[in-house]
Amino acid sequence: MFLGIDVGTGGTRAVLVDRRGVVVASAASEHAPIHSEHIGWAEQEPEDWWRAAREAIAASLAAAGLTGAEVEVIGLTGQMHGCVMLDADGNVLRPALIWCDQRTQPECDWLEAKIGRERLIELTCNPALPNFTLTKLLWVRTHQPEIFARIAHVLCPKDYVRYRLTGEYAIDMQEARCCSMSPTGVGRKRLRRRRKSR
């Protein structure tokens, strides 16, 4: 049995699919409303995603008459670009700045001035955009340095749920690249050279 989990913006969905590709059961749990202290800001509590994931998973298993032991594989997807900041013990340091948060235009401007638009695209395959995780981290560095100093792990929303499920910190390369945090092109070649030289 395969379990798919989608950590969306408005809620988390779980679906059980058998080996023939037949959907056996599905369920969803809504998230708490997005918190927006100022116009253009958008934050969510990662713990609320975890609550919703547990509820959706439990409901789909109950609907199928299955137990967690019968799940062979788990696949995750979800809203991209959210910035979940954890300390060294895996504790959430602040609410996550999610994909639709637009407060980081000054950080985008700083990146382009410091690195250059074309160079940034060459290194990460992306321009600096307010919804990307990297610019959100820079905003926290500028406006909440006491929190920034404690960051040990940065995850996206689905990766936080994966961490809660498994205890492992991970992000897939596509998501990291889309967050402007993974080298591509020239940057990836340099990273490969560095790994080979070790």
Say which residues have a Cβ less than 8 Å from residue 192's Cβ, sequence separation at least 6: none
- pLDDT tens sequence across 119-171: 988 888 788 899 889 999 999 999 999 999 999 999 999 999 999 999 999 88
77: left (phi over 0), alpha (psi -120 to 50) or beta: beta
In this structure, how many other beta carbons lie within 10 angstroms of the beta carbon of residue 36?
Answer: 12
Domain boundary assignment for the chain: 2-197
- The answer regarding whether domain 2-197 maps to CATH 1.10.287.70 reads no
Query: In this structure, what is the dihedral angle of CA atoms 69, 71, 75, 78, given to the nearest 10 degrees?
Result: -70
pLDDT above 70: residue 183: no
| pTM: predicted TM-score of the whole model, two decimal places | 0.86
The residue among 67, 52, 51, 50 whose CA lies nearest residue 16 is 67
Q: CA-CA distances (angstroms) from residue 118 to 121, 182, 192?
A: 5, 16, 22
- According to the model, what pLDDT value does residue 189 have? 47
Mean pLDDT of the chain: 90
In this structure, how many other beta carbons lie within 10 angstroms of the beta carbon of residue 192?
Answer: 11
- pLDDT tens sequence across 73-115: 999 999 988 999 999 999 999 999 999 999 999 999 999 999 9
Estimate the share of the chain in helix, then strand, then coil, as percent rounded to the nearest 5: 40, 20, 35
- According to the model, what pLDDT value does residue 135 have? 93
